[in-house]
Structure 1
């Protein structure tokens, strides 16, 4: 027989013998006799053992006993009784079963929990609340993890709030096993709380005064890690920097107890250009190009232009932002302009726009803005052709609040209100008042269930509606409006059946989302709305549909299918694809 066959047969024989031995050595393990909380902890300690590591001899039984005792000791049971039973299999190819029967015994209970706070901790609400909530009651069962967690919580508060001299004068957990009692004895001196010192910026080209006015605290304010995180966020939100790091430093030898901060930043590229192709149900294929100059000068001015090209709309916009020294992040001017050509449904428009706006944010998170707009629009809407020049001031009020993820929050609410006024006294061709209100609510009812409600109301008061440019008139239909109808396909019609736009708008929507798996959500929805000129001729359009959502870093990516119902409308089933935050 050739040697190669001899080697192969030998190898197969060795493998089969080894497998049989390994199989024979495998033993299953079962824990009995414990209540659920103790059982869970014991199994967690034994989880490192595989079946191959569980044997039936005394050496491994001693190892298992030690692990069980360690697990029970952590929960206050110091004297368990452990008995082993080995059950041999009745059928071949079955593993033996080693049963570990445990009687936990009498638990150790807390006789006294003494926690003494000294220094600033004895007056600090967070420390006092921790002691009131987490100190064990007399007679409760000893839990070593509870003791360690309590000390860790003391340390976390110290780091978070700036008690950097904190120390334990005494820290003892005493156990009298023979009497089944335990004692906490903690004497904790937090020292006094540190305060913020100066903030020094490194690597910035922006004037120091602008940066200092972004800092959300003052020298001498008490230290808080939340304020450092807020400063980091505010510096990032300016758009001036590519990276931001705020680093605290202090010297315990200094009697002034000041924490100095270094704001280390790297400047964002002065010019960035972004170009992308996309497709949406509303406007089809489109090209978008954005050029941004993040910092024009050392006062933080910025400039960007956006060009959007699609079959129904061509749009070129520019924006120049001027931060104000007293509060560069929340207070600023915007100078804006644009050119827009529209050929959509029954709308043809060539518009030029200019505007000046001032923005400021109140402490209650409401953002106010005052605007003055100029628009020159040559348009045809249905069979009506006009050229209109308007100058109209306005005020907007916005607020967005949310909990959880920024892009897909557990709870959230966004509100937008605006009023614009045009009058021939200052050169406008026509007089009007436009009022709008938009609200979105997000509510999580259960862990897997969310509701999203939307409402959009609008009113134009004018005696010259025919001269109102199409962009100021109300249309409905499409994503973020009434799904089931094409984009801006709903409005009153003229005598020839062409869309005219409306002076009044009311849209409501409710959507239910269910978490299916991973980042996937399912959705069903109903949208309903009306665009009208005369309240006596109210026609409500309703659409229903379903869709899916996928959580992305830019917000939910959504795909919806919807159809109109209720009024015999001729619109077909509509498909919607979208990406972006819900608020």
Structure 2
């Protein structure tokens, strides 16, 4: 048995909490059953899953079902999703093939703007490789992560959809570690569907925030909607460049520049830029980042806090 509980506080979202439970011997055959409740003022997620024990060749089956209620950038969303995947996890490479179902309703609160309900049943495949020397203080290595999926026409879907998303990152530290660490990251994604056909917003893209383009609010870059809302779009491109200068064994100073956009297609993109400085604390638990960034487009200074490494 494993039980976990946590509380958090976000400067925008207020207090939140998480409860999780794992049981490691379902059906007396070593299957793993999981339950998770995660909630705050603007988002609540309930999820349950079952995973097969991992075989000695790295293969196993896993499945889950989840419900999410969220309001971000004045877009209210209720989504129910489920899926089953065959996973292969060996030698720092994880690959998945499966089928996923998503149904979703969304609207802009305090308006008559209702985006209705949409759904999709997709065959998906994903591949992830991570070759990082140490995740507690990444200095050299790279990661690659990609996922593609498509519906079978309009079968059990609102419309025919094809989706692809990929991300990558590279860390480089010269042999003389006093020089510091250079980091480059990128994300790209695109959703194809017939024009004027509704696509679940979970499959589309918004960007901005501590883990994408710093200097902007979370998910504030996308399609401007009514009542100051930000709606997701079908294309995404983000790039980030960062330099970390070591102060001592546990701390580094950082300077960075992020840029990207979410738009209907790549031709219509107008890159949003964010530039800033920060501090990295490589704690025994996980890297801790504090950043202050300037958003060039809205000419505002914002601060961001994040825990963990972005990969």
TM-score past 0.5 threshold? yes
Post-superposition offset of 1:496: 6.8
- 1:515 alignment counterpart: 246
User: How many residues are matched?
Assistant: 306
Shifted more, 416-425 versus 469-478: the winner is 416-425
Higher relative contact order (CA 8 A, sep 6+): 2
- 2:76 alignment counterpart: 348
Q: Structure 1 residues 324 and 521 mapped into 2: Cα distance closer, same or farther (>3 Å)?
A: closer
Post-superposition offset of 1:489: 0.4
1:291 aligns with 2:18: no
Q: Structure 1 residues 461 and 482 mapped into 2: Cα distance closer, same or farther (>3 Å)?
A: same
- 2:280 alignment counterpart: 549
1:308 aligns with 2:38: yes
- 1:461 alignment counterpart: 192
The secondary structure found in structure 2 opposite 1:337 is strand
Distance 2:48 2:270 in 1: 39
- 1:422 alignment counterpart: 151
Post-superposition offset of 1:287: 0.8
Post-superposition offset of 1:297: 4.8
- 2:117 alignment counterpart: 387
Query: 5+ residue gaps in structure 1?
Result: 1-270
Distance 2:275 2:11 in 1: 16
Post-superposition offset of 1:379: 1.2
Post-superposition offset of 1:526: 0.6
Distance 2:142 2:10 in 1: 26
- 1:499 alignment counterpart: 230
Post-superposition offset of 1:477: 0.4
Match of 2:263 among 518, 532, 542: 532
Post-superposition offset of 1:525: 0.7
- 2:306 alignment counterpart: 578
1:126-137 equivalences under 5 Å are none
Match of 1:562 among 284, 290, 293: 293
1:369 aligns with 2:99: no
1:433 aligns with 2:162: yes
Deviations 1:18-75 (A, max 9, x none): xxxxxxxxxxxxxxxxxxxxxxxxxxxxxxxxxxxxxxxxxxxxxxxxxxxxxxxxxx
Structure with the higher strand share, 1 or 2:
2
Q: Structure 1 residues 281 and 413 mapped into 2: Cα distance closer, same or farther (>3 Å)?
A: farther
Distance 2:108 2:93 in 1: 36
> Does the CA contact (< 8 Å) of 1:557 and 1:579 recur in 2?
yes
Post-superposition offset of 1:326: 5.1
Query: 5+ residue gaps in structure 2?
Result: none
- 1:277 alignment counterpart: 7
Deviations 1:271-328 (A, max 9, x none): 222111113467443211111113325532111122111112111112211025453x
1:323 aligns with 2:50: no
RMSD (Å), alpha carbons: 2.1
> Does the CA contact (< 8 Å) of 1:381 and 1:470 recur in 2?
no
1:336 aligns with 2:64: yes
1:36-185 equivalences under 5 Å are none
Post-superposition offset of 1:578: 1.2
Structure with the higher helix share, 1 or 2:
1
Q: Structure 1 residues 394 and 353 mapped into 2: Cα distance closer, same or farther (>3 Å)?
A: same
Distance 1:373 1:464 in 2: 23
Q: Structure 1 residues 518 and 407 mapped into 2: Cα distance closer, same or farther (>3 Å)?
A: closer
Deviations 1:540-562 (A, max 9, x none): 10001111111122321111111
Distance 1:285 1:502 in 2: 29
- 1:22 alignment counterpart: none
> Does the CA contact (< 8 Å) of 1:407 and 1:582 recur in 2?
no
Distance 1:297 1:407 in 2: 36
Which protein is bigger by CA-based radius of gyration? 1
- 1:401 alignment counterpart: 131
Distance 1:509 1:284 in 2: 28
Post-superposition offset of 1:492: 2.1
> Does the CA contact (< 8 Å) of 1:505 and 1:529 recur in 2?
yes
Q: Structure 1 residues 555 and 431 mapped into 2: Cα distance closer, same or farther (>3 Å)?
A: same
Distance 2:145 2:12 in 1: 23
Post-superposition offset of 1:375: 1.3
The secondary structure found in structure 1 opposite 2:139 is strand
Post-superposition offset of 1:511: 0.8
1:16-27 equivalences under 5 Å are none
